[in-house]
Structure 1
């Protein structure tokens, strides 16, 4: 007996698993926008991330937004609440001190190795990053986002002579968390700090091959923002938002 032909399944009867996955480009865009809003404080620490509300804000589907939020949870910028959804990760002085100590250990060690082993391509990358950053210092109002990008580029260029992709990945994550606190520190009234001179000192010592002095200058630079912010918190001149 001849087999009956299998009827063609109409598109309307396909299962949910057959639906196309969210565009990776849309997920990346939503991730970047969410990350920037968290880092810059537009989404406050502890704030609940309501998908139905945020999908309108970022003009993406709920599925795309959940994918982006999941990535942010992997970056520790978002925390999960079991079946209750997601919240922006809280911030605290103790966390800032922990992040700072880890950055000092990793970055100064990587800088020393980069100065020892970095060749002409490394020197060129550092010089180009330094020139681009210098052109944006002191930081102009309304251009902090660009400065942050150039600042990250300069720090990564300094460490790029040390061939360790994992070091750069970890430090990039720590840098994002540090930037959250810098958003509050930069608004402190009466703070006296010449970031350009700090960068210039690191650059000069690195290019001169003086690894010990370069490492000390980098450590002082990394600790400057946390020291200012923690002092202001202890003196009651500023409060970190708790969200809710």
Structure 2
């Protein structure tokens, strides 16, 4: 029986270049722009999303905007307040810890299954995604972080593509989006020292050599690194996450 085709790279096209799909609808484009602005913190956690203001910002009609916001509610990036409209979902260390627990639980199991069932085509695709990521993260800078986030997500998804599961992919993609909201705070911490490329290299080499148990342990440490750094900085007062208030997006 023929192997299932690897669809993950094509699924990632909108992340790598949101403007590349000529058939993208206006709603999809608005949704992508809103999502990016929330993840990047240009729309602050807890801020009120007033349709009349956002219509001017994104140059779209109220119907398109509301449809995009409704999709973001499904992503848990926006909260609906009944008749009072929409608000950017707040962020909190407790939420980050919960996101991390879920990622570790799902992603390490999926990685072990992927390594056990992956074939030569999977290893070839994984190698390509790793090489693309490696070229960009040596060094990783603030200027290339947006592109890095896309390639980082692609690498993590390719790690799991040896035995693809559409539902695991959907769940992990949502968790990864939320993780990005916190990672930007960790990356801006003064004096933060972390060799992300070395972490990726270790996971990649263990996966390629078929060492599923060790690869899962390396992946768990990698997933937990940012939450641990950020939680420590939060407790020490070196970073403060925005709290919900009446700011307008």
- Classify the secondary structure of the residue corresponding to 2:25: helix
Q: In structure 2, how many angstroms separate the alpha carbons of the residues matched to 1:34 and 1:25?
A: 14
Corresponding residue number in structure 2 for 1:208: 209
Offset of residue 243 of structure 1: 3.7
2:160 is equivalent to residue 155 of structure 1: no
Q: In structure 2, how many angstroms separate the alpha carbons of the residues matched to 1:198 and 1:164?
A: 24
Q: Which has the higher contact order (CA 8 A, sep 6+)?
A: 2
Offset of residue 139 of structure 1: 1.3
Corresponding residue number in structure 2 for 1:180: 181
Deviations 1:131-178 (A, max 9, x none): 000010121331111000000000000001122110011000000000
Q: In structure 1, how many angstroms separate the alpha carbons of the residues matched to 2:184 and 2:33?
A: 16
Offset of residue 192 of structure 1: 0.8
Q: In structure 2, how many angstroms separate the alpha carbons of the residues matched to 1:63 and 1:222?
A: 38
- Classify the secondary structure of the residue corresponding to 1:135: helix
- Classify the secondary structure of the residue corresponding to 1:71: helix
2:223 is equivalent to residue 226 of structure 1: no
Q: In structure 2, how many angstroms separate the alpha carbons of the residues matched to 1:235 and 1:141?
A: 24
Offset of residue 44 of structure 1: 0.6
Q: In structure 1, how many angstroms separate the alpha carbons of the residues matched to 2:181 and 2:234?
A: 15
2:168 is equivalent to residue 191 of structure 1: no
Structure 1's consecutive aligned runs of 4 or more residues displaced over 4 angstroms after TM superposition are: none
Corresponding residue number in structure 2 for 1:30: 30
Q: In structure 1, how many angstroms separate the alpha carbons of the residues matched to 2:79 and 2:163?
A: 32
Q: In structure 1, how many angstroms separate the alpha carbons of the residues matched to 2:203 and 2:104?
A: 14
Q: In structure 1, how many angstroms separate the alpha carbons of the residues matched to 2:174 and 2:133?
A: 20
Q: In structure 2, how many angstroms separate the alpha carbons of the residues matched to 1:49 and 1:121?
A: 45
Task: Summarize the alignment of residues 40-55 of structure 1 with structure 2, pairs less than 5 Å apart.
Answer: 40-55=40-55
Offset of residue 24 of structure 1: 6.5
Corresponding residue number in structure 2 for 1:143: 144
Corresponding residue number in structure 2 for 1:72: 72
Offset of residue 82 of structure 1: 1.0
Q: In structure 2, how many angstroms separate the alpha carbons of the residues matched to 1:208 and 1:181?
A: 32
TM-score (norm 1): 0.89
2:126 is equivalent to residue 126 of structure 1: yes
Offset of residue 120 of structure 1: 1.2
Q: In structure 1, how many angstroms separate the alpha carbons of the residues matched to 2:190 and 2:40?
A: 18
2:165 is equivalent to residue 164 of structure 1: yes
Name the Cα RMSD after superposition.
1.0
Corresponding residue number in structure 1 for 2:5: none
Q: In structure 2, how many angstroms separate the alpha carbons of the residues matched to 1:181 and 1:140?
A: 17
Larger CA Rg, structure 1 vs 2: 1
Gaps of 5+ in 2: 1-22
Offset of residue 121 of structure 1: 1.5
Gaps of 5+ in 1: 1-22
Aligned pairs, how many? 222
Deviations 1:187-220 (A, max 9, x none): 0111110000000000000000001110010000
